[in-house]
Structure 1
Amino acid sequence: MRPADRHEKIVKLVHKAGEISVDDLAQTLGASRETIRRDLANLDAMGRLKKFHGGARVRSNTQVEPAVEGPFALRMAENLPAKRRIAHAAASLLAPGDAVFIDTGTTTLILAEALVDLPMLVVVTNSWRIAATLSANPDHKVFLIGGAYGADAGESLGQFAVEQIRRFRARHAFLTVGSVDEHAVMDFDAQVTEVAQSMIERVDIVTVLADASKFGKRGIFEVAPWSSIDRLVTDAPPPPAIAEALERAGTKIVVA
């Protein structure tokens, strides 16, 4: 069974039962407990269920839970259908044997799910969740960048991460950003921006994944001007000012 199909079955079983154990899921789906635990960790990170020791339950919709969850988990649940369309469109841009940097983000985590079944990718990422997801396919070669640990998003940051990124070269970089305007793609964290810029320096083709909610937002740190971005994969046509800027820069727009 493909990981994406198994994930959908797990979510349906959890919602049907309200709460279910790892052992029951493993027996029902014919998978190992280790595989189910990894699936639950990824689904929890995506905001689709709540993992606990030995099983999973339906994620609470009350106002109590967000107070104890980080911003990454909250963002994971935002615009989920759009992010899935973007992820599948982005996955179609890769070929077997491609080497790719993938930075940490909610859309790139969903992209990792879409890439599991592709053959023989070489992936360099600073996200343990993305590394764990892609490692479900033994044909993939996955490198997990180390560095200062950002617990909320589960990412490696800082100078050690940047130094390790610079030891690699790849054909592609798939990046998420905090905001998109007619001048550049931007983010709200200096260290996250540094990681993205380091990946851009080491690849031939740069692809930004951004849903329409990012259009027109003002970030704090400029990741890159449009002249450094080869493709924007999104779920809706950008506003005219942004579309014109991309055309001038030669950036291709892929609407999922």
Structure 2
Amino acid sequence: MQPSSRHDDIIALLSEAGELSVEALADRLRVSRETVRRDLGRLDAAGRLRRFHGGAKAIGVPAPVMDKEWPFAQRMAQNAAGKKSIAAAAARLFEPDDSLFIDTGSTTVAFAEALAGARSLTTITNSPRIAAMLAANHAHKVFLIGGAYGADAGESLGPLALEQVAKFRVRHAVLTIGAIDPACVMDFDLQEAEVAKAMIERADRVTVLADHSKFDRRAVFEVAPLARVHTLVTDLAPSEPMAKALEAAGTRLIVAGAE
């Protein structure tokens, strides 16, 4: 296949999917990952797509107003490299003896993995997977919130979980979200939004971990206004209007790899 034809195929695939990883493009085009990376570099330089670490996204196509999100297992695989870089940058924000709420999400799972080597933290989470990762380091003190079990993401939800969250008071809440616009951060699931709001209520400071795909989108349930978010860690810089909204809200923006 000639490069120009392959470039057109890449643009067509991205126009259909919105964004794809290097691995997915290589599989669909039946070429090497290195070939895809070269193609993405050229197409990005030509302004035909937006390249990010591990993949690319279409440009010139308005982001849809989303009313659902992918199953958790699929979200774990999406932009894994970007989420890993977010996790590494976020893990450096916390000091020994800090206390943290951590909610359940694909990015907070990566964050817990990055945080596991830190010293003497107290963490409270509604994710058995995150609790197990952190508890492997015996210097950590870990509390697992119970409640109704949400099988998709493997998390505790519902009134019992909310009641237990209310028994703690911590320095930081570290949360994932489903969407963010210039007004607020949002989620697609009511029970997950309720857990996040309860954690925010019992925390002094709020840190949100969100990859670039969450920007300029909307979900059904508001979690918090931007002004309640002290720090946002992401993998790519947001649009100029979004960056201005964060600045106006007093939210510290950290772009992983550009700190």
For the superposition of Structure 1 and Structure 2, which TM-score range results when normalised by the shorter chain? 0.7 to 0.9
Do structure 1's residue 215 and structure 2's residue 219 form an aligned pair? no
Greater alpha carbon shift after TM alignment, 85-94 vs 238-247 = 238-247
Partner of 2:75, secondary structure, is helix
Partner Cα distance (1:232, 1:164) in 2: 26
- Deviation per CA, 1:7-64, whole angstroms, max 9, x where unpaired? xxxxxxxxxxxxxxxxxxxxxxxxxxxxxxxxxxxxxxxxxxxxxxxxxxxxxxxxxx
Partner Cα distance (2:194, 2:74) in 1: 23
With normalisation by structure 2, the TM-score equals 0.71
How far residue 71 of structure 1 moved from its aligned partner, in angstroms, is 1.1
Greater alpha carbon shift after TM alignment, 117-126 vs 239-248 = 239-248
How far residue 236 of structure 1 moved from its aligned partner, in angstroms, is 1.0
Number of equivalences: 187
Runs of 4+ in structure 1 displaced over 6 angstroms?
none
- Kindly provide the amino acid, as one letter, of the partner of residue 159 in structure 1: P
Unaligned regions of 5+ residues in structure 2, if any?
A: 1-69
Partner Cα distance (1:216, 1:246) in 2: 12
Partner of 1:81, secondary structure, is helix
Partner Cα distance (2:88, 2:204) in 1: 21
Partner of 2:137, secondary structure, is coil
1:131-170 equivalence runs, <5 A: 131-170=131-170
With normalisation by structure 1, the TM-score equals 0.72
- Kindly provide the amino acid, as one letter, of the partner of residue 130 in structure 2: I
Match of 2:130 in 1: 130
Match of 1:83 in 2: 83
- Kindly provide the amino acid, as one letter, of the partner of residue 213 in structure 2: S
Partner Cα distance (1:211, 1:116) in 2: 21
Partner Cα distance (1:76, 1:180) in 2: 19
How far residue 180 of structure 1 moved from its aligned partner, in angstroms, is 0.9
Give the superposed CA RMSD: 0.8
1:5-44 equivalence runs, <5 A: none
Unaligned regions of 5+ residues in structure 1, if any?
A: 1-69
Instruction: Give the % identical residues.
Output: 60
How far residue 91 of structure 1 moved from its aligned partner, in angstroms, is 0.2
1:168-207 equivalence runs, <5 A: 168-207=168-207
Partner of 2:205, secondary structure, is strand
- Deviation per CA, 1:200-247, whole angstroms, max 9, x where unpaired? 011111000000011111111000000111010001111111111111
Partner Cα distance (1:247, 1:75) in 2: 28
